[in-house]
Amino acid sequence: MFVGSYTSARLSLTTPPDCCCNCGAHGPLEFVDTPMKQVRFFLVFGTELTLTEAFPYCADCKRSAKRVRHGWLAKGMVYCLVTSIVFLAVVIASSSLPRFMGDNLFYSALVLSALLTAGYYATRKSRQPGGTYYQPVALTEAWIGGQQLAQYGLAFHNERYAGAMRRANAELIDAGILKIA
Ligand SMILES: [Zn+2]
């Protein structure tokens, strides 16, 4: 599968500096561009839509703005990559492995790489209590009508910031253009 067309646009929402949009902390905040992606596949062709908006982040969370959460497809690709490396490693080390592993190199590689991949994703944690390592806002839906964005939805990790966004963008929400989860 590959992505055949890319569309990107800048949103112009009102993004209130009430608190960090990730962990909810008050204090010094910095507005950081947050690219939110939606990828759709039609058989082999895909379209990728990127909507960018600047949200307020605290110093600890600002790096999360660009960390797109891996979907199942990306995780599967990471797993395949890890498996091929681990398989090569167990083949090279086969003579010094325990017998049950040496007899089942391929299955040993599959299990080992599943553990490594799961371990890798388990360590992706935020340093802030209540925060997330990944982007704290996701594009949940987007419909393009004519040349513009007809309707779109955003989901926030932080409920307090979602509330602030709903109050600040009530007009767009009432008009049915924006949904905030
Ligand atoms: Zn924060």
Residue in this structure with the two tokens 């592993």, named with its chain if needed: 101
Q: How far is the CA of 19 from the centre of ligand 1 (A)?
A: 8
pLDDT value, residue 1: 52
pLDDT value, residue 3: 66
Q: Does residue 161 belong to any structural domain of this protein?
A: yes
Q: How far is the CA of 120 from the centre of ligand 1 (A)?
A: 22
Q: How far is the CA of 172 from the centre of ligand 1 (A)?
A: 26
Q: How far is the CA of 61 from the centre of ligand 1 (A)?
A: 4
pLDDT band, very low/low/confident/very high, at 117 (cuts 50, 70, 90): very high
Same domain for 77 and 165, yes or no, is no
Q: How far is the CA of 27 from the centre of ligand 1 (A)?
A: 10
Same domain for 62 and 84, yes or no, is no
pLDDT value, residue 21: 97
Same domain for 38 and 64, yes or no, is yes
Count up the domains in the chain and report the number: 2
pLDDT value, residue 47: 83
Q: How far apart are CA 64 and CA 45, in angstroms?
A: 29
**Cβ–Cβ < 8 Å for 10, 53:** yes
Q: Does residue 97 belong to any structural domain of this protein?
A: yes
Mean pLDDT of the chain: 91
Q: What is the pLDDT of residues 141-177, one digit of tens each?
A: 998 777 778 899 999 999 999 999 999 999 999 999 9
Q: Does residue 128 belong to any structural domain of this protein?
A: no
Same domain for 85 and 6, yes or no, is no
Same domain for 92 and 62, yes or no, is no
Q: What is the pLDDT of residues 40-88, one digit of tens each?
A: 877 777 888 999 999 999 999 999 999 988 888 889 999 999 999 999 9
Domain that holds residue 89: 72-122
Q: How far is the CA of 18 from the centre of ligand 1 (A)?
A: 12
